């Protein structure tokens, strides 16, 4: 790992899950712990970058020398990213953003009393904004790296996400394996870009974060020089 690969560069990272309220006591979310993103933020600081992280609700300690903006929902994460995107050179979308949220947040707790005693309760959901795709679609967009959490056809689906969202690079992980991906301390990824495929073997998220940034820096500096 080289310590100055991102010296002077501004890096913005999304982290953790988002939480989409259903009513005052319930929400929709996922198993992201933020470990992968926080490790990337630490590694980016070590690599010389100025780092901002927009983080969903996690229980991790804030990394040193990282500006952390805490958010709860996908829409808050989207707005916080847009508030901090100017002057960003490299954007990494590592958050597990909820693709959908309830159409309305109920003011009162859903009751299972007479009048609402059905066996089946339907919840209507609406799509959330795609944060990484919005960043990539900007005029003068930064170099954009997304993640792809897949449970099958990992390379194929990740490649198609990269193309659809117009990302420069994507980091694919197989989240059907409990020992890697969501929540665990380790991960194993394949990094993809046009004409490039690099597999990084299983390692702790802290070790892997440095390797991911090393591979990313090659793509980034090539892109920047054009
Ligand atoms: O947090 P950990 O417990 O350490 O786990 C790490 C991780 C498994 C969460 C991480 O390695 C990972 O894969 N992050 C992406 C999770 C995800 O939601 O992937 P996706 O394939 O659904 O989304 C593809 C890309 O679009 C991602 O860069 C995601 O951040 C982005 N996205 C998705 C939806 C949305 N509305 N906005 C987005 O920006």
CB atoms within 10 A of CB 133: 16
- What domain count does the chain have? 1
For residue 4, tell me if it sits in a domain. no
pLDDT at 6 over 80: yes
Predicted TM-score of the model (pTM): 0.97
- Which structural domain, as residue segments, surrounds residue 101? 10-105+123-224
Atom of ligand 1 nearest to the CA of 150: 21
Q: Does the annotation count 140 as an active-site position?
A: no
Residue 156 lies in a domain: yes
pLDDT for residue 7 is more than 70: yes
Q: Which of 177, 154, 185 is nearest to 34 (CA)?
A: 185
Contacts 24+ apart (CB under 8 A), 116-121: none
With a pLDDT cut of 70, the percent of the chain lying above it is 97
What CATH number did the domain enclosing 140 receive? Answer: 3.40.50.10300
Residue 115 lies in a domain: no
181 lines ligand 1 (CB under 6 A): yes
Q: Is 99 in the pocket of ligand 1 (CB under 6 A)?
A: yes
Integer Cα distance of 193 and 9 in angstroms: 21
> Residue 99's closest CA among 37, 17, 22, 177?
17
- Mean pLDDT, rounded, of the chain: 95
- Predicted-complex ipTM score: 0.99
pLDDT band at residue 111, thresholds of 50, 70 and 90?
confident
Let me know if residue 137 belongs to a domain: yes
Is 206 annotated among the ligand-binding residues? no
* Nearest one of 116, 106, 27, 107 to 73, comparing CA atoms: 27
Buried b (16+ CB within 10 A) or exposed e, 71-81: bbbbbbbbbbb
């Amino acid at each position: 790992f080289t310590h100055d690969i991102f010296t002077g560069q501004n890096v913005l990272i999304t982290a953790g899950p988002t939480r989409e309220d259903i009513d005052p006591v319930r929400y929709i979310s996922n198993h992201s712990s933020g470990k992968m993103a926080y490790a990337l933020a630490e590694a980016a600081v070590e690599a010389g970058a100025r780092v901002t992280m927009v983080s969903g609700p996690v229980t991790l300690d804030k990394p040193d020398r990282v500006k952390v903006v805490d958010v709860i929902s996908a829409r808050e994460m989207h707005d916080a990213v847009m508030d901090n995107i100017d002057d960003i050179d490299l954007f990494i979308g590592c958050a597990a953003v909820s693709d959908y949220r309830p159409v309305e947040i109920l003011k009162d707790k859903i009751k299972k009393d007479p009048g609402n005693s059905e066996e089946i309760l339907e919840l209507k959901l609406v799509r959330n904004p795609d944060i990484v795709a919005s960043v990539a679609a900007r005029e003068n967009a930064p170099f954009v790296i997304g993640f792809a959490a897949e449970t099958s056809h990992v390379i194929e689906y990740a490649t198609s996400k990269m193309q659809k969202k117009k990302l420069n690079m994507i980091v694919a992980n197989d989240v059907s394996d409990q020992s890697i991906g969501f929540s665990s301390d380790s991960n194993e990824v394949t990094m993809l870009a046009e004409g490039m495929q690099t597999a990084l073997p299983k390692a702790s998220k802290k070790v892997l974060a440095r390797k991911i940034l090393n591979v990313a820096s090659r793509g980034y500096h090539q892109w920047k020089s054009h």
